C-alpha cells in the first residue's frame, strides 16, 4: 500500500493466508465450512440471509394454517397439515444452519418477535379463500423454488445442504398447489371464480418475491461475488414468468398482466410494470397483515414460555439426578 | 404413518421413495392415499361393524381436528412438528375407519365427515374437550393415546380383517403418541411450580370424561370377537398410566363423572362449534369436489 511495495505484490501483501485460502475456495466453487476462516462481512451477510429465510418459513406457516381446520376434504386437510409441518421443519434446519455461524436461536427468535428481523413480505398478505392454498403453492412456492434452487450451490456448506432438502419438499408443495387450482378450475363456476380471484391477488406479490430490480438491489453484488447468490433478481423473475405462462394455460387461469406478451426477439415473456410502491409499503410494515403475523408469533412464544421453562427445569433436574446417581 | 408417508431424505426431487419406516416428521404431501387393503379389498362393513368403525373414526377425526388448530401456535417449533404428526396419524386412522364405515351405506369418508350433523356423530366427550392450554392438550393426549394403544393392540386380533388391518397399522403410531404425551406429563408435572399447577388442573378438568371411554354400549354385545369391549381395557389402561403418574407424583383425580352419551349422539356443547368450522366450506358448495 505504500510506495515501497511494488503494485504487483500489493494484493498479496495485505491479504492474510486465511483470506487467501477463503478466496481460493470461493474461486474454485468449493464449499466454506463452519470451521473455516471467513470474512466478517460474509458471516454477517449469511446470518442475515439464512435467518430471514428461517423466519419466512415460520411466519409462512400462518397464512396456510388459517385453513387447516376448514380444509374441504380429509385428504386436503392431511396434505395441508403435512405441508405446514414441512415449513416448521425448514425453519428448524435453517435456524440450525445459522447457528453454525454463531447466531443463537433465542436471539433470532427475539429479533423476529420484536419486529427487528425481516421475513418475506409475501406472508403479510391474507388468505381469505381456500383457493389461496392453491395460489400459495403454485405461485409463492414456485417463486421460492426459482430463488432457492440456485442456493443449493451456495458457497456456505450448511446452507447449501439445507437448501437441497428444502427444495425437494418445495417442489411437492408447488405441485400440490397447482393441483388444488386444477381441481377448482375443473369444478363449479363459483370454484373457478375462487381460483381466478386468488391468482389475481397473488400473482404480483409473487413476482415481487424476487426482490427489487437489479439496479436497485443494494446487497446483490457482494452476495454474487461471494457466490452466496448465483443469479440476479431480474433474471430469476424472468425465468419464473417464462415457466408460469404455459402452466397458466393448462390451468385455464388468466395472469393479471394486460401487458404480458411474448418477445420474438428475446424469446422471453415481457412483463408489465411492477408496482414497487406496494412492495415498499408492505416492506415498511404497511401491508395487510404485518401486525397480525407478528402478533401471532409473539403470542405463541409468550403463551408457550411456561412450557419451555418447565422443559428446561425438568431437564436440569434430571441431569442433577443422574450426576448424583453417578457420584 | 406408514402408508401415508415417505422419508424425504431418500426422496428424489420428482419422485417420492417408498421407505415407510421412521417417517415421523417427513410426510410427503403428495402421498396421502388410503391403505391398499381399503381401496382394493372387496370388504363391506355390516351395519353394526359400520357403526363401530364410526365410533373409532369419529374419535380420531375430532381429535385430529383439534390438534390441527395448534399448528403455528405451539410452545416451540418442535411441538408444531410433533403435534402435526399426531394430527396426521389420527386423520389417517379416521380416513380408513370412515371409509370402511361408509361401505355399509355407500357414503365416502368425506360424506361422513362433512355432511353428517351433530346427532349423527359418535365421538366421545373426551376428544370434544377444547385444546385449553398446552397442559390440557397433553392431558387429553395422554389419556386418549394410552386408551387407543390398548384398544388397537387387541383389535389387531379382530375377526373383521379390515378392522384388524387398520389396528395393526394404527397401534405403532399411537405407541409414539403415548410416548410423546408421557414425556410431556413428566416434564410439566415436575418442571416448574406453574407447570405442575397447570398439569394438575388439566387432569382434574379432563378426568370426568374418562369413565365414558370404558363404557360398554349395547352395540358391543352384538360384535363379539369383532369389537373390543371397552370395559375390558380398563385394567391395562390403569396399569399403564400408574407408573407414569407415580413418577410424576400425580394422583388420579376424583370428583365429577360426566354422563357422556357420545356413542348415542348426545354431545358436549363444544362439538357443534367444532363441526361448524370443519364443515363450513364444504357445505357452502354442495356437490363440488376439491
Number of domains in chain B: 1
CB B28 within 8 A of CB A82: yes
Contact B164/A at CB under 8 A? no
Does B162 reside within a domain? yes
Count of C-beta atoms within a 10 Å radius of residue B17: 14
Predicted ipTM of the assembly: 0.90
Residues 6+ apart with CB under 8 A from B34: B3, B95, B96, B99
Positions in chain A short of pLDDT 70: 1-13, 218-219
Contact A35/B at CB under 8 A? no
Going by C-alpha positions, the residue among A89, A84, A114, A104 that lies closest to residue A301 is A114
CB B208 within 8 A of CB B258: yes
Does B36 reside within a domain? no
| pLDDT-based confidence at residue B20 (cuts at 50, 70, 90) | very low
Contact B288/A at CB under 8 A? yes
Is the pLDDT at B3 greater than 50? The verdict is no
Cα separation of B200 and A160, whole Å? 46
- Please return the burial class of A271, using the count of CB atoms within 10 Å of its CB with bins 0-12, 13-18 and 19+: middle
Q: Write out chain A residues lying below 8 Å of B61, CB-based.
A: 74
Q: How far is CA A145 from CA A151, A173, A253, in A?
A: 10, 10, 21
Cα separation of B41 and A311, whole Å? 46
Contact B70/A at CB under 8 A? no
Residue pointed to by grid coordinates 439445507: A162
Q: Would the pTM count as exceeding 0.80?
A: yes
Would strands A261-263 and A268-270 be described as parallel, antiparallel, or unpaired? antiparallel
Does B112 reside within a domain? yes
Count of C-beta atoms within a 10 Å radius of residue A195: 28
Cα separation of A33 and B172, whole Å? 39
Residue pointed to by grid coordinates 362433512: B114
- Cβ pair A83:B30 closer than 8 A: no
Supply the range of the domain harboring residue B193.
Answer: 42-284
Does B274 reside within a domain? yes
**Which B residues in the span 180-219 are in contact with A, Cβ-Cβ below 8 Å?**
186-188, 190-192, 194-195, 198
Q: Give B126-182 pLDDT, tens digit per residue.
A: 999 999 999 999 999 999 999 999 999 999 999 999 999 999 999 999 999 999 999
Taking the mean position of all CA atoms in its chain, how far away is CA A15?
34
Going by C-alpha positions, the residue among B74, B282, B133, B35 that lies closest to residue A77 is B282
State residue B255's pLDDT score.
85
Name the grid cell of B11.
Answer: 426422496
CB B6 within 8 A of CB A168: no
Averaged pLDDT for residues B112-133:
98
Residues in chain B: 290
Q: Which sign, positive or negative, has the C-alpha torsion B192, B196, B197, B201? A: positive
CB A173 within 8 A of CB A86: yes
Residue pointed to by grid coordinates 356443547: B269
Q: Which of A184, A188, A314 sits opposite B186 (nearest CB)?
A: A314
Residues 6+ apart with CB under 8 A from A187: B288, B289, B290
| pLDDT-based confidence at residue B38 (cuts at 50, 70, 90) | low
- Cβ pair A70:B278 closer than 8 A: yes
Cα separation of A144 and A137, whole Å? 10
- Cβ pair A92:B290 closer than 8 A: no
CB A119 within 8 A of CB A55: yes
Residues 6+ apart with CB under 8 A from A274: A204, A207, A208
Is the pLDDT at B11 greater than 80? The verdict is no
Q: How far is CA B123 from CA A236, A250, A260, B212, in A?
A: 51, 43, 54, 11
Taking the mean position of all CA atoms in its chain, how far away is CA A232?
16
Q: Give B210-255 pLDDT, tens digit per residue.
A: 999 999 999 999 999 999 999 999 999 999 999 999 999 999 998 8
Residue A272 backbone dihedrals phi, psi, to 5 degrees: -75, 180
Calculate the CA dihedral of residues B200, B202, B204, B208 and round it to 10 degrees: -160
State residue B42's pLDDT score.
58
Does B29 reside within a domain? no
Does B30 reside within a domain? no
Which residues lie across from A32 on neighbouring strands? Answer: A156
- Cβ pair A75:B95 closer than 8 A: yes
Cα separation of B112 and B58, whole Å? 9
CB B188 within 8 A of CB B181: no
State residue A229's pLDDT score.
73
**Which A residues in the span 113-172 are in contact with B, Cβ-Cβ below 8 Å?**
130, 165, 167-169, 171-172
CB A146 within 8 A of CB A243: yes
Cα separation of A220 and B213, whole Å? 61
Task: Give the CATH number, domain containing residue B188.
Answer: 1.20.1260.10
How far away is chain A from the Cα of B67, in angstroms, using its nearest Cα?
Answer: 9
Q: Write out chain A residues lying below 8 Å of B109, CB-based.
A: 74
Calculate the CA dihedral of residues B229, B231, B237, B242 and round it to 10 degrees: -170
Does B134 reside within a domain? yes
Does B3 reside within a domain? no
Amino acid at each position: 500500500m505504500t510506495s515501497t511495495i511494488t503494485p504487483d505484490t500489493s494484493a498479496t501483501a495485505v491479504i492474510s493466508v486465511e483470506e487467501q485460502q477463503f478466496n481460493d475456495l470461493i474461486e474454485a466453487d468449493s464449499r466454506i465450512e463452519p470451521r473455516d476462516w471467513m470474512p466478517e462481512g460474509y458471516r454477517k451477510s449469511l446470518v442475515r440471509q439464512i435467518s430471514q429465510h428461517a423466519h419466512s418459513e415460520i411466519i409462512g406457516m400462518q397464512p396456510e394454517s388459517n385453513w387447516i381446520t376448514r380444509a374441504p376434504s380429509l385428504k386436503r386437510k392431511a396434505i395441508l397439515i403435512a405441508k405446514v409441518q414441512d415449513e416448521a421443519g425448514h425453519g428448524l434446519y435453517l435456524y440450525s444452519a445459522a447457528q453454525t455461524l454463531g447466531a443463537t436461536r433465542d436471539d433470532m427468535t427475539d429479533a423476529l418477535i420484536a419486529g427487528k428481523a425481516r421475513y418475506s413480505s409475501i406472508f403479510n398478505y391474507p388468505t381469505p379463500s381456500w383457493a389461496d392454498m392453491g395460489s400459495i403453492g403454485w405461485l409463492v412456492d414456485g417463486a421460492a423454488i426459482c430463488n432457492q434452487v440456485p442456493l443449493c450451490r451456495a458457497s456456505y456448506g450448511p446452507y447449501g445442504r439445507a437448501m437441497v432438502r428444502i427444495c425437494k419438499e418445495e417442489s411437492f408443495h408447488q405441485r400440490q398447489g397447482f393441483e388444488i387450482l386444477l381441481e377448482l378450475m375443473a369444478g363449479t363456476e363459483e370454484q373457478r371464480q375462487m381460483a381466478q380471484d386468488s391468482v389475481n391477488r397473488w400473482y404480483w406479490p409473487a413476482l415481487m418475491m424476487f426482490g427489487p430490480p437489479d439496479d436497485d438491489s443494494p446487497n446483490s453484488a457482494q452476495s454474487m461475488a461471494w457466490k452466496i447468490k448465483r443469479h440476479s433478481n431480474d433474471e430469476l423473475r424472468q425465468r419464473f414468468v417464462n415457466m408460469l405462462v404455459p402452466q397458466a394455460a393448462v390451468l385455464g387461469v388468466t395472469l393479471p398482466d394486460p401487458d404480458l406478451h411474448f418477445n420474438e426477439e428475446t424469446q422471453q415473456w415481457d412483463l408489465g410494470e411492477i408496482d414497487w410502491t406496494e412492495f415498499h409499503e408492505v416492506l415498511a410494515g404497511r401491508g395487510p397483515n404485518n401486525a397480525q403475523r407478528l402478533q401471532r408469533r409473539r403470542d405463541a412464544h409468550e403463551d408457550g414460555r411456561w412450557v419451555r421453562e418447565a422443559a428446561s427445569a425438568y431437564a436440569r433436574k434430571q441431569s442433577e439426578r443422574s450426576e448424583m446417581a453417578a457420584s | 404413518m406408514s402408508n401415508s408417508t415417505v422419508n424425504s431424505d431418500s426422496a428424489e426431487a420428482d419422485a417420492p421413495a417408498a421407505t415407510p419406516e421412521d417417517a415421523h416428521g417427513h410426510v410427503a404431501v403428495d402421498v396421502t392415499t388410503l391403505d391398499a387393503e381399503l381401496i382394493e379389498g372387496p370388504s363391506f362393513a355390516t351395519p353394526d361393524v359400520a357403526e363401530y368403525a364410526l365410533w373409532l373414526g369419529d374419535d380420531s377425526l375430532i381429535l385430529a381436528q383439534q390438534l390441527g388448530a395448534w399448528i403455528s401456535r405451539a410452545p416451540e417449533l418442535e411441538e408444531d412438528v410433533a403435534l402435526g404428526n399426531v394430527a396426521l396419524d389420527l386423520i389417517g386412522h379416521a380416513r380408513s375407519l370412515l371409509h370402511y364405515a361408509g361401505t355399509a351405506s355407500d357414503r365416502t369418508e368425506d360424506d361422513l365427515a362433512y355432511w353428517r350433523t351433530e346427532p349423527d356423530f359418535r365421538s366421545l366427550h373426551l376428544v370434544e374437550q377444547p385444546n385449553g392450554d398446552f397442559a390440557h392438550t397433553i392431558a387429553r393426549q395422554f389419556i386418549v393415546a394410552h386408551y387407543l394403544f390398548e384398544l388397537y393392540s387387541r383389535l389387531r386380533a379382530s375377526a373383521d380383517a379390515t378392522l384388524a388391518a387398520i389396528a395393526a397399522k394404527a397401534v405403532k403410531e399411537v405407541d409414539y403418541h403415548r410416548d410423546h404425551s408421557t414425556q410431556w406429563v413428566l416434564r410439566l408435572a415436575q418442571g416448574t411450580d406453574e407447570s405442575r399447577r397447570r398439569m394438575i388442573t388439566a387432569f382434574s378438568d379432563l378426568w370426568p370424561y374418562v369413565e365414558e371411554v370404558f363404557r360398554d354400549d349395547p352395540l358391543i354385545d352384538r360384535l363379539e370377537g369383532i369389537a373390543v369391549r371397552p370395559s375390558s381395557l380398563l385394567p391395562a389402561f390403569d396399569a399403564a398410566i400408574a407408573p407414569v403418574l407415580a413418577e410424576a407424583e400425580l394422583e388420579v383425580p376424583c370428583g365429577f363423572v360426566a354422563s357422556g352419551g357420545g356413542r348415542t349422539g348426545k354431545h358436549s356443547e363444544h362439538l357443534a362449534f367444532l363441526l361448524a368450522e370443519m364443515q363450513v366450506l364444504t357445505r357452502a358448495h354442495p356437490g363440488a369436489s376439491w
